[in-house]
Amino acid sequence: MSSETHGYSSSLEPVVRLEGVHRVYHLAGEDIHAINDVTLDIWPQRMTAIVGRSGSGKTTLLNLIAGLDKPTQGTVWVLGRNLNQLDERDLLALRLHKLGFVFQSFGLMPLLSARENVGVPLRMRGLPPAEREARVDEALAWVGLTDRAHHRPYELSGGEQQRVAIARALAEDPELVLADEPTGQLDTRTGRRILELLRRMVEERGVTLVIVTHDPQVMAEADIVHELRDGRLVGTRVKEGVGVPGR
């Protein structure tokens, strides 16, 4: 990692900013406050973890950042854009061109090879075939799966499937990657390897990474940990030596 990524200047802007965000669901005549007055910043080129027990609002928060859900109140800014002001076409373009996603269940298409799965979002973006293939090859090589490129998901281990999912995100050259329990279906050793890949993504590729997790390994590795409880932000921990504006 370059020296610039270790420190911050006072003028550096967050990649994600939530200001007074509420998300209320109306179920059976009752208001459920999934997110309750959350204000926080996600800083660039950092691994940030969102943690909390089941039902604490972690996945709802991730969906709000991704523009897959809308706040009942408050504002979500992503890469300088107010998501409240974007229509569905703009939100889709933001997800397709600026964001990458890694899911607990891998999210691979079962009838496609690893190579084809990595290329799906690039096809959606309409990239020329030569550029698309070059990106796919580079991403699979980066996660160490060149020799498994033509295998379908059922021919791959859980760890290999998650590496394909990481390659798919990387091939898009995203500024922000959102990961929902990326080690949740993996044993401890395999989860550690995936975590090492995610760390490399931040350090070598300059990606900003947000991980929703309950995995203690991820919490220990993350640069910044935000804890949610009953939809509220109840604490933030910054790893020693990690620069964050205002601290």
Confidence band, pLDDT 50/70/90 cuts, at residue 214: confident
Give the predicted TM-score (pTM) of the model.
0.88
The domains of the chain are located at 14-238
The per-residue pLDDT for 246 is 58
Q: What is the mean pLDDT of residues 79-108?
A: 91
The per-residue pLDDT for 176 is 95
Q: For residue 32, what are the β-bridge partners?
A: 25
The per-residue pLDDT for 152 is 95
Confidence band, pLDDT 50/70/90 cuts, at residue 9: very low
The per-residue pLDDT for 215 is 87
CATH homologous superfamily, domain 14-238: P-loop containing nucleotide triphosphate hydrolases (3.40.50.300)
Residue 143 in tokens = 């996660």
How does pLDDT run across 219-241, given as a tens digit for each residue? 999 999 999 999 999 999 998 87
